[in-house]
Structure 1
Amino acid sequence: MDSNKIEMFKGLNVLRLLDSIGESLIFADENQIIRWMNVPAKELLTKIGPFVKINDPEDFIGVNLSMFHGPRQNGILAGETFPHTAHIKLFNRFSAKIVVDKVFSETGDFSGYVLTWKDVSDFQQELEVQQNMLKSLYTPIIGTAIDSVLLVALTGLLTEERMQYTKDAILLACAEKKAEYVIFDFTGIVDDIDDVVVFHLDQIAEALRLMGSEAIFVGLNSQFVQQMIRKGLKVRVKTCQSFKQGVNYVWSKMGYKLVKI
C-alpha cells in the first residue's frame, strides 16, 4: 500500500520516528559515506568509538563504511543482493549482526544504504565471563560427612591452566574448612596427562602437607597409571583404588569405623 495514502503518515517526522526505533541505524550515501545515524546508533558508537580513537559519535559523520567492514563486506555492498544479513567483528573487540539494505528516493533512484546493527556484544568481555563460569565448574570441591574431609572430583581433561586454578581453589577451601584430609577422585579422568600436570598435582599435595593436610589420590585407572610409569612421573601421596577405600583409610586414621545399626 502506498504510504502517501495512509492518513497517519501525512506530515510524519521521519527523523524522530527513526530515533524511536530500538535498533541502531546508520545511513550512508551511494559512496558509502556515513551521513546520519539515529540515537541508538550514537549510543552504540559512544561505546565502541574509543577503540578507533573517536570519542564523539558525531565525528563518524563523513567516515566511510569501510571502517567497519572488510573487503568481503565491501564486495557485498557493491553487489545486487539486498537486504543482506551478516555477522561481523568490529575492531577485534565487538561482534554484531548487521542487516544492510539499499535506500531509494521517492522517484525510485538509488540514494545510499541503511545499516541496522543488532545483537552487538563485547565478545572479549563475554569470553572473560564464560571463562570465569568455566572456572567455577573446573573442579568441584565437595564437603563430606566429616567436616574436616574434602572431596575433589576431577573429570575430563587435565590442563595446566585448570590445575593452576584447581590448586588455588583447593588451598583456599582447605584453609576455610580447616580440612585434615583432601581426597582427589580421578575416576572420571581417562585422557592422557603430561609432566606439567603431574608437577602441579605434586605441588598441590606438598602445599596441603605444609598446611597440615594430607592429600589422598583415589580412582587412578590402569591407563592413567601406565602413562605415568612410561613417562617416569611420580606423585608422593597415599593412593587407593577406589573412593570407598580412600574413605575407609581416612576413617581409620581419624579413629572412625562403620558400624551397622
Structure 2
Amino acid sequence: MRKWDKLQYETTAVLNSFTDNVFIADTDLKLVWMNEAAEKLISKFTHHIKVSDPEELIGIDLTKMHGKETRFLRVMTKHELPYRATINIFDGYVADIVISNLETKEGNHYGYLLFWRDVTTEEKRKERDRALIEELSTPVLPSVLDNTLFVPLIGNFDENRMEHLKETVLHEVVRRGSDYLIFDMSGIRAMENNSMIAQFHNFNETVALTGVETYFVGFTRDLVKSFIAGGVKVESKSFPHYRQAVLHILKQEGLELQKAANKDKNKNRKNKSE
C-alpha cells in the first residue's frame, strides 16, 4: 500500500475502504495518492490516458490531464472550493465530483482531496426517463383520416423540446406519407421566449415544404397575444376545435360525415326504387 507522508496509516485504511474513488493532490496540483477503488477505475481507462499502470499517474500534474481551458483549472486557480459538479469522462463514464482543501489542525493548507462517485448507471436511467418524457409529451397521433396526423402540444416549450418536436413530426410525416397535419395548441402553457415562437413559425414553414397542409386548433388568448408580441403571423388556417379542422379536411377531400341512420335510409330507398 502506498503512503503519503502527510497521511496517517489509519486515514489511508479508511479511504481504501471507500467504494467511491478518492484522489489526493499536493498544493502544486500533482497527484500524490489514490485509493484502491480509484486504482481500479484508472485501470479501465489506461488506453485513454496513455499509461500502462495507475502507478504511473503518481506525480503527474492534474492540470495537464484536464487541460488548461477546463472548468477544473479555473476552479483550482481561483480556489473556489469546495467545488461540486457532475462530469462526463471516458467511455460514457459519469461521475459526481467534490474537490476540497486539505488542511492541518492549525489550518495550514497542504493539498486537495478529490472525491469521485460513479453515477453512470443513474445518469443513463435519467436519460432514458427524459427520452420517454419527451416522447410522451410530444405525441404524433393518427386521426380518423388515414392521411392526417394529429399533434397535441402540451406543457412548456423550450429549445430542446422544440428541436425534438421538429424531428418527430418531420419523421412521422415522411414515414406515413401524410397530406395534412393538425396542431392542437390548447395544451401549451408557455414558450420560453419570442425566439421560440419564431422557431415554431419557421418549423411550420419547413413542414409546408414537404407538401403537407398544416392546420391549428385551440389557440388560447394568451398564446395569440404571445404570437402577436413576437411579430409572428400564422399563415395556416386555424379553427377553435379539432372537429372543425377534420370537417374542413373532409371537404377538401370531397368527403363528408353521415350518420349511420341516414345511410340505412338511403340504402332502403335505393332498394325500393330497384
TM range (shorter): 0.5 to 0.7
- For residues 68-126 of structure 1, the C-alpha deviation after alignment (integer angstroms, 9 at most, x for no partner) is 9976878xxxxxxxxxxxx954777543378xxxxxxxxxxxxxxx9986544399878
Structure 1 distance, partners of 2:197, 2:21, is 54
Q: Structure 1 counterpart of 2:96, which letter?
A: A
Does residue 23 of the first structure (1) align with residue 22 of the second (2)?
no
Question: Equivalent residue of 2:233, what SS?
Answer: coil
Q: Rate the CA distance shift 1:245–1:23 in 2: closer, same or farther, 3 A.
A: same
Q: Quick one: structure 1 residues 203 and 118, their matched pair in 2 at CA, closer, same or farther if it must change by over 3 Å?
A: closer
User: Which residue in 2 is equivalent to 1:149?
Assistant: 148
- Counterpart residue number, 1:256: 256
Q: Hey, what's the Cα distance between the residues in 1 that align with 2:222 and 2:22?
A: 59
CA contact (8 A) 2:157 2:196 kept: yes
Report whether the alignment pairs 1:46 with 2:46: no
- Structure 2 gaps of 5+ residues are 1-12, 67-71, 99-112, 262-274
Where does residue 102 of structure 2 map in the other structure?
A: none
SS at match of 1:190: strand
Tell me the equivalent position of 2:235.
236
Partner Cα separation in structure 2 for residue 233 and residue 139 of structure 1: 22
CA deviation after TM superposition for structure 1 residue 218, in Å:
0.4
* Identical residues among aligned pairs (%): 24
CA distance in 2, matches of 1:120, 1:198: 36
* Partner-residue secondary structure (3-state), 1:157: strand
Q: 1:233 to 1:129 in 2, by over 3 A?
A: same
Query: Could you say which residue in structure 2 is the equivalent of 1:223?
Result: 222
Instruction: Decide whether aligned partners of structure 1 residues 49 and 228 sit closer, same or farther in structure 2, where only a CA change above 3 A counts.
Output: same
| Counterpart contact for 1:218–1:240, Cα < 8 Å | yes
Contact 2:191–2:197 (8 Å) recurs in 1: no
Question: Does the Cα contact within 8 Å between 1:218 and 1:246 map onto a contact in 2?
Answer: yes
Using the TM superposition, name which of 218-227 and 188-197 deviates more: 188-197
For 1:188, the equivalent position in structure 2 comes to 187
The 8 Å contact of residues 26 and 34 in structure 1, kept in 2 or not, is answered as no
Distance 2:190 2:59 in 1: 56
Unaligned runs of 5+ in 1: 1-14, 75-86, 99-113
42-51 or 140-149: which moved more? Answer: 42-51
Deviation by residue 1:173-209 (Cα, 9 ceiling, x = unmatched): 1011011111100111132564433333333333333
- Tell me which residue corresponds to 2:95: 95
Equivalences for residues 69-218 of structure 1 within 5 A: 88-89=84-85, 93=89, 94-96=94-96, 118-121=117-120, 132-133=131-132, 135-191=134-190, 194-218=193-217
CA RMSD after TM alignment: 4.7
Deviates more, 1:124-133 or 1:241-250: 124-133
Aligned residues: 221
Contact 2:185-2:217 within 8 A present in 1 as well: yes
CA distance in 1, matches of 2:86, 2:167: 36
Deviations 1:200-225 (A, max 9, x none): 33333333333222101000011111
